[in-house]
Amino acid sequence: MPLPARKLGSQGCEASAIGLGCMSLVPGGGFYDPEGLTEDEAVAVIHRALDLGITMFNTSDLYGPYTGETVLGKALAGRRGGVVVATKWGPMFKDGQLQADFSPANARRCCEGSLSRLQLDCIDVFILRGPVPAGVSLEETMHELKVLVNEGKIKHLGLSEVSAAQVRACHAIHPISCVELEWSLFSRDAERDIVPTLRELGIGVLAYSPLGRGLLAGRFASTADLGEKDFRRWGQPRFAGEAFEHNRQLAAKVAAIAERKGCTPAQLALAWLLAQRDDIIPIPGTKSAGRLEENAGAADVCLTPEDLAELEAAVPEGAVQGDRYAGLQHTTYHAAYSDAIERLRDFKRDHVQLQRLLAKTPTLSRKQRRSLQAYYLRQNELIDALLQTEQIHRGLFTNDAHREEAQVRRALALSFAANCLLLVVRTALALLSGSLSLVIATLDAVLDVVSSIMLYWSAHQARQRNKYQYPVGKERMEPLGIIVFSVIMGTAAFQVIVEGVKALLSGAAPDLGGKMGIVVGGTLGVVAMKLALFLYCRGSPSPAVAAFALDHLNDVLVNGVGLAGAVLGARVAAFWDPAIAIALSLWVVWTWGGQARQHLVNLVGRSAPPDLLQRLTYLAFYHDERVQKIDTVRAFTLGNSYIAEVDIVLDPLMTLREAHDIGESLQVKLELLPEVSRAYVHIDYEYTHAPEHS
């Protein structure tokens, strides 16, 4: 049986009274459960929603990112009749930080990308998602969106997380059909701030988090029910300490009313929202078919004026404790922090500004200009790192671990396959040429295959977690594998040096004869493939992939210079071949010796660099106003990542629950830094004692 339909504003958009928010359906889609569903599971949930008569689906290019739209497009293929797809654009994660680009060019780029991923010719509702910083004009962007509407790529325009003034300004350029905002019995700020403007302009509402992020559905008996990395646990004050207990009691009152009405608490909360206006469509998110059916049933719950009055008395406006996000209220976040960090942006220098600065100093030498440019580029990096801490405080940061792991697995698989193929090619070339320089390349190829297996195994072991046998994980397996590999490479190189000395003394030269073309062509092919693999692997945060990148670069040099040695030894003078082989061997010893030394130092426990200690200090200092002092901040290597220890001083009369919540939420924030594998927060009431572990 189809759900009743509702008009979303006055521009002709119409969809089911209950929609589906698709954020949590894909990995990386939401903060509550970073794992998401598999593609088949997500498609099954969407198909069940269609079967229930749900026709409003709300997604974003940010979910995944991008995979949220892709999965929705696949699920709706062949079932598009009557369906309304709303997707958002604007913010996007870049280097772990949420950055927004509201330019006209990005509006068009995002629209065309969403059309492709959703497999649509026209997007039903294209929503610009804020917040848009004060002073940023959307006028040119709205004109570009208007052009996209005229081109038939967008049917309706929407906004999200914007002010009433911004709604008016955008609506004056092109009619806005709906505004997406958080609205529920537990979040009613919009009723004062923006809803009156929407009523005046005839703009509908897509209400997200209509169940108070699960509280109104009665899902949580305590904060222990939240996952360890759940954003609500540390990024939303309503789920912290005494506020959580207070809000849970409010939810219990709603549950009691629902029981008398013969419906579930979630259905009652959704029915209350539907009763506020006839152009509101709640878009609760869920990964469960059972919850989906429960939510759809809310459309059948009729509330009388007496029911609404009883709910108002049970949860009056302002009764909920804690704000929506950390960072919006002084109890959990320094208000001054945002201003202090934001002022750092003024000290960044983009390329144009840097060139202007250099133009003002014509007396500088070329070396001084390079040094000045390097200084400002480094300063930009440090500022970006500190800005990252603000993203963590506001719950807008992800270290994208699941995507990084997928990239690591791809790089390891590609490297292993290439090394197996190239071993066959190199062996044939060495046998054909008889060149000692190419023999070292063949020996290197044998070691490549062996090392690929070893590095893959050590990286796999590092990812395996058994908190009972290995409480701090097995991350040190990876650097240990690299150290062993470095020793093997060095030993093989020394053996080639010995053979090279013998060849120099004997004066024997490689005989390429008529095989020159095959040897040269085959070696150049090897060099090209290894160069491509180096470019693919470089810059990876994984030590195993970084080791492969170095190995691929070594192979480019070994094969290229080795080919030169073979040709020079055959055509110019015999000593060139062993001499170049010895030089290549010394290069291998030098590079892999450096790798071994670096990882040995990391295993010993080297102190973190100053910029990481600065970020740890910033996170701790601005974490909560109730933190009186920062006693100690230290971090040291545990393999290729860091262990962080932070000592904070709290009021000696503070309750254990408050102290626990402050310390635990800080620990979670510290562990969001990509470099930190584990953080320990020590809580004290004074700072005059002797340092621990001195």
For residue range 463-507, list pLDDT tens digits in order. Answer: 566 666 766 666 677 677 778 877 877 777 777 787 778 777 776
Domain boundary among 582, 602, 622: 602
pLDDT-based confidence at residue 636 (cuts at 50, 70, 90): very high
Name the range with the highest mean pLDDT among 92-106, 208-222, 490-504. Answer: 208-222
- Within this chain, do residues 35 and 101 fall inside the same structural domain, yes or no? yes
pLDDT-based confidence at residue 605 (cuts at 50, 70, 90): confident
pLDDT-based confidence at residue 648 (cuts at 50, 70, 90): very high
- Within this chain, do residues 587 and 615 fall inside the same structural domain, yes or no? no
Instruction: Give residue 231's pLDDT.
Output: 62
Phi and psi torsions of 171, nearest 5°: -65, -30
pLDDT at 461 over 80: no
At a CB cut-off of 8 Å and minimum separation 6, what does 111 contact? Answer: 89, 123, 126, 148, 153, 154
Domain boundary among 580, 602, 624: 602
At a CB cut-off of 8 Å and minimum separation 6, what does 224 contact? Answer: none
Instruction: Give residue 266's pLDDT.
Output: 94
**The dihedral sign for the CA sequence 111, 113, 118, 122:** positive
- Within this chain, do residues 210 and 341 fall inside the same structural domain, yes or no? no
Cis? peptide before 65, omega within 30° of 0: yes
pLDDT-based confidence at residue 88 (cuts at 50, 70, 90): very high
- Within this chain, do residues 598 and 614 fall inside the same structural domain, yes or no? no
306 located within any domain: no
Instruction: Give residue 370's pLDDT.
Output: 84
- Within this chain, do residues 478 and 518 fall inside the same structural domain, yes or no? yes
Residue pLDDT, tens place only, 259-283:
999 999 999 999 999 999 899 999 9
Beta strand residue intervals within 326-412, DSSP E: none
pLDDT at 402 over 50: no
Higher pLDDT residue, 405 or 452?
452
Distance, CA of 427 to CA of 545 (rounded, Å): 25
Kindly list the distances between the CA atom of residue 106 and the CA atoms of 100, 111, 130, in Å, as whole numbers in the listed order: 10, 8, 14
Helix (H, G, I), strand (E, B) or coil at 331: coil
Higher pLDDT residue, 269 or 554?
269
Find the mean pLDDT for residues 426-442: 65
- Is 63 designated active site? yes
42 located within any domain: yes
pLDDT at 24 over 70: yes
- Within this chain, do residues 545 and 677 fall inside the same structural domain, yes or no? no
Residue pLDDT, tens place only, 313-332:
999 887 887 666 554 333 33
pLDDT at 208 over 70: yes
Instruction: Give residue 555's pLDDT.
Output: 76
Instruction: Give residue 396's pLDDT.
Output: 47
Distance, CA of 627 to CA of 118 (rounded, Å): 47
Instruction: Give residue 29's pLDDT.
Output: 53
- Within this chain, do residues 485 and 363 fall inside the same structural domain, yes or no? no
Instruction: Give residue 465's pLDDT.
Output: 60
171 located within any domain: yes
Higher pLDDT residue, 47 or 133?
47
Both tokens of 434, joined, read 């008889």
Instruction: Give residue 466's pLDDT.
Output: 64
Instruction: Give residue 235's pLDDT.
Output: 59
Q: How many CA atoms lie within 13 A of 579 on its CB side?
A: 10
- Within this chain, do residues 388 and 449 fall inside the same structural domain, yes or no? no
65 located within any domain: yes
Domain boundary among 577, 602, 627: 602
Mean pLDDT of the chain: 80
Domain at 510, CATH number? 1.20.1510.10
pLDDT at 163 over 90: no
292 located within any domain: yes
Domain at 621, CATH number? 3.30.70.1350
239 located within any domain: no
- Within this chain, do residues 426 and 356 fall inside the same structural domain, yes or no? no
Phi and psi torsions of 141, nearest 5°: -65, -40
- What pTM value is reported for the model? 0.55
Higher pLDDT residue, 656 or 97?
656
Residue pLDDT, tens place only, 513-524:
556 667 677 778
Q: How many domains does the chain have?
A: 4
Name the range with the highest mean pLDDT among 80-94, 214-228, 273-287, 375-389. Answer: 273-287
- Within this chain, do residues 659 and 562 fall inside the same structural domain, yes or no? no
Find the mean pLDDT for residues 648-667: 88
At a CB cut-off of 8 Å and minimum separation 6, what does 199 contact? Answer: 277
The catalytic position among 63, 325, 333, 456 is 63
- Within this chain, do residues 291 and 372 fall inside the same structural domain, yes or no? no
Kindly list the distances between the CA atom of residue 413 and the CA atoms of 246, 449, 465, 479, in Å, as whole numbers in the listed order: 52, 12, 22, 19
- Within this chain, do residues 33 and 148 fall inside the same structural domain, yes or no? yes
At a CB cut-off of 8 Å and minimum separation 6, what does 191 contact? Answer: 183, 317
Domain at 78, CATH number? 3.20.20.100
220 located within any domain: no
Q: Are 591 and 297 in contact (CB under 8 A)?
A: no
Instruction: Give residue 121's pLDDT.
Output: 94
Residue pLDDT, tens place only, 114-151:
999 999 999 999 999 988 875 677 889 999 999 999 99
Which structural domain, as residue segments, surrounds residue 197?
Answer: 5-214+273-301
**Which stretch of DSSP H or E encloses residue 373?**
helix 366-393
Distance, CA of 455 to CA of 218 (rounded, Å): 47
pLDDT-based confidence at residue 440 (cuts at 50, 70, 90): low
Instruction: Give residue 540's pLDDT.
Output: 65
Instruction: Give residue 576's pLDDT.
Output: 79
Give the amino acid at 111.
C
361 located within any domain: yes
